[in-house]
Amino acid sequence: MRRHRTAAVTLLALGALFTGGLVAPGAANAVPSATTDGASAATRTVPPAERQTARTFWTADRMRGATPLDPELGPAAAATAKAPARSDAGEATVVPGSAPAAFPQPGGPWTGGGAVVSTSGRVFFTFQGRTASCSGNAVTSQNASTVITAGHCVKYQGSWHTNWVFVPAYDNGTAPYGQWTATSTLTTPQWEASEDINYDVGAAVVAPLNGQRLTSVVGAQGLQFNGGYNKPMYAFGFPAAAPYDGTKLIHCSGNSSKDFLFSQDHSLGCDMTGGSSGGPWFTGFDETTGTGLQVSVNSFGYTFLPNRMFGPYFGDEAKALYDKAQTS
């Protein structure tokens, strides 16, 4: 992650093989819309014309050239990023995998294989006229079409990103499982309203490709909400800022802790850089099968605390977002 001397916080930029029921996605509106459904999610419906453009926009060269966007939050924003205390009560949608292997792993290419290779991928989109990238993960869902990422990977500085696609198992300009175009993108009401780093969670519902739905092709990871803090975790992503180049799935692992500074986020020793934002964090991760329960995403790092990654706590707000996405 690139760190900035001028900011206290840097967002990691734009940088269970179960499948859900085959539920048809919601119909797209003719024009973009952003709505807040109670406390569940802020949603943008992608118009058909934009979806058509996105299908051909992301050439190999454009994907290779997409740059991680490194948005910043200054000290004042960090100091006000307080959230209510969290519960330690756990709720899982699937059974977790076996205990993780040795710790820590500060960052390196994932060579273990398994489901995470195909469920993880790069996210590409247009942000304020330039091409940019993040990471994301396919999760078990009723519509079999849901991707979880970071909030700033769907909306930032008041603007929803356009030409949004998910490329699972991205490989240096190639898309082994195809490019999956978003029909809608979503984030938490707290991120939509004020870009509160405690709620930097996003999602996308993607259209079928070649007559198939996403998780029937690439598999899916389970999720856990309100699972508490201080546990072994694995983090994955496609960092594209030096020393990484976005061509490989990178992972970190270790014992996580709760941020003791300005947020209510999880903290993990990790040197991933811009472009890894939105990549999944797992608890109960099984290295043999490459499966676990997703409990967070790569979000940000403090400029004064190098080699440390932070990710939002998946509480009630993240659960409401997920529920809205998986039924869209």
Cα separation, 146 vs 165, whole angstroms: 12
Element (H, E) at 127: strand 120-127
Whether this prediction's pTM lies above 0.75 is answered by: yes
Cα separation, 254 vs 127, whole angstroms: 33
Cα separation, 13 vs 278, whole angstroms: 9
pLDDT for residue 179: 98
- The conformation of residue 48, written as its DSSP 8-state character, comes to H
pLDDT for residue 306: 83
Cα separation, 69 vs 86, whole angstroms: 30
Walk me through the domains of the chain, giving residue ranges and CATH numbers. 9-73+82-326 (2.40.10.120)
Q: Label the pairing between strands 291-297 and 222-225.
A: parallel
C-alpha pair distances (Å), 295 with each of 191, 235, 255, 265: 18, 10, 14, 11
Cα separation, 15 vs 80, whole angstroms: 25
- The conformation of residue 153, written as its DSSP 8-state character, comes to G
Cα separation, 1 vs 12, whole angstroms: 6
Q: pLDDT of the chain along its 328 residues, tens only?
A: 333 333 445 555 444 322 222 222 222 222 333 444 446 799 999 999 999 999 999 999 999 999 996 654 444 444 444 444 443 333 433 222 223 334 455 678 999 999 999 999 999 999 999 999 999 999 999 999 999 999 999 999 999 999 999 999 999 999 999 999 999 999 999 999 999 999 999 999 999 999 999 999 999 999 999 999 999 999 999 999 999 999 999 999 999 999 988 899 999 999 999 999 999 999 999 999 999 999 999 999 888 888 899 999 999 999 999 999 999 9
The overall average pLDDT reported for the chain is: 83
The answer to whether the bond into 243 is cis (omega within 30° of 0) is yes
Residue whose token pair is 């993108």: 185
